[in-house]
Amino acid sequence: MKQVSKAAADISSRKIQTVQSMVIENDSLSLTLYDNGEIDGDTVSILLNGKVIMPMQGLTAKGITKTIYLTPEMGDSISLIMYAENLGSIPPNTGLLIVYDGNVRHEIRFSGDLQKNSAIILKRKKLH
């Protein structure tokens, strides 16, 4: 039997701190993840509405990019959670997430530790 990844294993026991809410217009977003500050071995997992979409990412100065596609079933308020898998050599675990919504660029700095995760709320723009 294949070993199941333990990404975000303790998600239910950690507090979630919302660091930013943003209005988005597109159904596809590009996420790029960097270490924020000194490169010290931070590892994070990214969850979209509770589902791991980027497991165990080692943060560096070179960005890790993923495109996500938002479906109507996800609702109008979508949660992105940065889960610290470790603290690197300089706690806390810090990162920079760049979200591209079409031509609009959002920069979000986040930090987490073994008690707290950072969350971003994506709110769909209402069409009139």
Query: For residue 82, which of 40, 53, 60 has the smallest C-alpha distance?
Result: 53
Whether the per-residue pLDDT at 121 is higher than 70: the answer is yes
The whole model's pTM is what? Answer: 0.92
Phi, psi of 37 (to 5 degrees): 100, -140
Q: Which position has the token pair 């509405």?
A: 49
Using one digit for the tens of pLDDT, what is the confidence trace for 19-31? Answer: 999 999 999 999 9
- Average pLDDT for 3-19: 87
Using one digit for the tens of pLDDT, what is the confidence trace for 51-86? Answer: 999 999 999 999 999 999 999 999 999 999 999 999
The four Cα atoms 19, 115, 52, 25 give a dihedral, to 10 degrees, of -10
DSSP bridge pairs for 94: 111
